Structure 1
Amino acid sequence: MTIRLGVVMDPIHTFNPKKDTTVVLMQAALAAGWEVIGFEQGDLWLDQGAAKGLGRRLQVNADAHTQPNHWYQADEPVPLNLGELDVLLMRKDPPFDSEYVYSTYILEAAQRQGALVVNDPQSLRDCNEKVFATQFPDCCPPVLVTRNNKLLREFHKTHSDVIFKPLDGMGGSGIFRVKADDPNVGVILETLTHFGTETIMAQRYLPEIKAGDKRILVIDGEPVPYSLARIPSQGETRGNLAAGGTGVAQPLSERDRWIVAQVAPSLVAKGLLFVGLDVIGDYLTEINVTSPTCAREINNAFDTDIGGLLIAAIAKRLEAK
């Protein structure tokens, strides 16, 4: 029987098939003989507690990277009971806002009705991508999460060179590096905390960022053996590709593997099958659970099959069900 995979994602016409990890995953599913059905957030609803959606059967060309204008085909949308699908893959990019949370409620209903949801909807809600990392203090640099201005200033005074960032940011947005003599520390904290009404994160600045912010992909507790080091552009603090960083794929270090080993049991227990760890130097800085990226870049550099690894892990979970 053909496995039916629903993918909740941003509008497919906005994707760059040369880079997008969701395209990699859909290609792998199709290569395995699965049926792929696409949904946007607005296509999902609850009807008397039953999860439903308007789904479009998708085909993604194997040579997507050479056909930028004709790389996918989408059938007309049809109403479906989400719980009757074998798998639902949540690939909607942040922001993690109220609409994202409401989508997880619908996916949770589909989960109760029989579908395997990747990643687990409750864990998507519980595991803030910045705060979740603090559950592993031995892996992290000095870090503080608060909206208290006095505590933030004390942290800055103690560590001199500090990164301040919002808890709901993505792609490097809203990140400030504040050195010891920065006269703008007050206004930066006022801006980020909205005058003490919103909680933010402070981390000691890691000079190793110059060698790259490494994205390590973890599939059902096992690391892909290569990471993508996102190296900041000249004069930048942030390595995010969205902020102009350059990606360089490289093998995992022993420390990278040690960090994965500390985190992996929790990921598996929480139903987080596809996760991206962010590591600067020897330190874990974030755990990305919503829509991890960088699969295409790593595949291109080392001829890996990250999509195939995830599809195999999902198939294993389906067999266990």
Structure 2
Amino acid sequence: MKIAFLADPLSGFKIYKDSTFAMMREAARRGHEIYAFEQRDMALELGVVSAEVRRIHLTGEQDAWYRADEARDLRLSSFDAIIERKDPPFDMEYVYGTYLLELAEKQGARVFNRPSAIRDHNEKLAIGQFSQFTSPTLVTSSEKRLRAFHAQHGDVIFKPLDGMGGTGIFRVKHDAMNLGAIIETLSDNGKRTIMVQKYIPEIVKGDKRILVIGGKPVPFALARIPQGSEVRGNLAAGGIGVAQPITERDREIAEALGPLLAERGLLLVGLDVIGDFLTEVNVTSPTCFQEITDQTGFDVAAMFIDAVELATGK
């Protein structure tokens, strides 16, 4: 099988923890051909979507971990699978990329996750479809509504709708310290829509990443535990990742959402759960493969490539 990965520059990969690298390594181990390209390498010309693609050979070394062939301009439909692994920000360039991938689908390409499904599932807002699993949440640009929500719940978390890695997240307690400044900054004085949620005290035990592949949950989650006075558990914000078996509640959430999201074209989803509550639905480039595998022995990348093979019939 020929698998092309749409990813950020390979030179920036930290292969000891990178989930895309884990996917590539498992695919190569099975004898599949691995290719890579960046979003800027794509083009639409004469109605055909192609990209400047390089075949990648894994060397097994830590630093010079890959060798790349000369770039070739190939139709995306010539691959058996396209794996979309570009990291956010989910800006208009990202959206344009999904439009090109969607056109490639119409020409026969198989893209995972489906481009239209990525667009339709904002990683913060998607939880609104599953409010039975969420803590009290408000999405608005109205300062009046945001202040009223804080007055009602007392201890809340503000976050932008387009952030990643914990950026732009603020906790405001009952004393309302800096409430006005935070609302003004995040909402750009009422011009930008933001989210506020009731604070979930169980964050001290970790912000759990539950991976769902082909509609089925990985049996272990990675609890990303905040350190010191930090309220964010994100690994990028200094959180420590501890793998643990998923709880009954974790499984309930994953099994309720998994088949539905898979049917919509989301082969790989990262559900974020704090305590008993769903907080995000990650669909762009969910991570934590290697942390879970290293700590538990469960091969997440193998489960993912199994799902790709099943989906493509290869």
* TM-score, with length taken from structure 1: 0.96
Whole-angstrom CA distance in 2 between matches of 1:316 and 1:238: 36
Confirm whether residue 286 of structure 1 aligns to residue 286 of structure 2.
no
- Give secondary structure in 1 for the equivalent of 2:119: helix
State the 1:175 CA deviation.
Answer: 0.2
> Which residue of the partner structure matches residue 154 of structure 2?
160
> Which residue of the partner structure matches residue 51 of structure 1?
49
> Which residue of the partner structure matches residue 25 of structure 1?
23
> Which residue of the partner structure matches residue 194 of structure 1?
188
Runs of 4 or more, structure 1, over 2 Å off, are none
Among candidates 92, 96, 102, match of residue 98 of structure 1: 92
Encode CA deviations 1:74-120: one digit per residue, 9 max, x unaligned.
11111101111111000000000111111111111111111110000
State the 1:29 CA deviation.
Answer: 0.9
Counterpart contact for 1:94–1:170, Cα < 8 Å = yes
- Which letter maps to 1:27? R
CA RMSD of aligned residues (A): 1.0
Confirm whether residue 312 of structure 1 aligns to residue 306 of structure 2.
yes
User: Which residues of structure 2 form unaligned runs of 5+?
Assistant: none
State the 1:14 CA deviation.
Answer: 0.2
Whole-angstrom CA distance in 2 between matches of 1:7 and 1:236: 34
Indicate the larger mover: 68-77 or 188-197. 68-77
Whole-angstrom CA distance in 1 between matches of 2:246 and 2:27: 26
User: Which residues of structure 1 form unaligned runs of 5+?
Assistant: none
Among candidates 9, 12, 18, match of residue 11 of structure 1: 9
Matches within 5 A, 1:116-155: 116-155=110-149
- Give secondary structure in 1 for the equivalent of 2:252: helix
Encode CA deviations 1:173-193: one digit per residue, 9 max, x unaligned.
000000111231011000000
Whole-angstrom CA distance in 2 between matches of 1:210 and 1:145: 24
Counterpart contact for 1:232–1:244, Cα < 8 Å = yes
- Give secondary structure in 1 for the equivalent of 2:218: strand
Confirm whether residue 89 of structure 1 aligns to residue 87 of structure 2.
no
Between the two proteins, the alignment pairs up a number of residues equal to 314
Confirm whether residue 38 of structure 1 aligns to residue 36 of structure 2.
yes
State the 1:315 CA deviation.
Answer: 1.0
Whole-angstrom CA distance in 2 between matches of 1:30 and 1:83: 20
Encode CA deviations 1:218-250: one digit per residue, 9 max, x unaligned.
001000000000000101000000000000000
Encode CA deviations 1:273-309: one digit per residue, 9 max, x unaligned.
0110000000000000000000000010111111111
Counterpart contact for 1:88–1:116, Cα < 8 Å = yes
- Which letter maps to 2:67? Q
Counterpart contact for 1:123–1:271, Cα < 8 Å = yes
Identity %: 52
Encode CA deviations 1:110-157: one digit per residue, 9 max, x unaligned.
111111100000011110001001210111110011101111111101
Matches within 5 A, 1:176-191: 176-191=170-185
- Which letter maps to 2:86? K
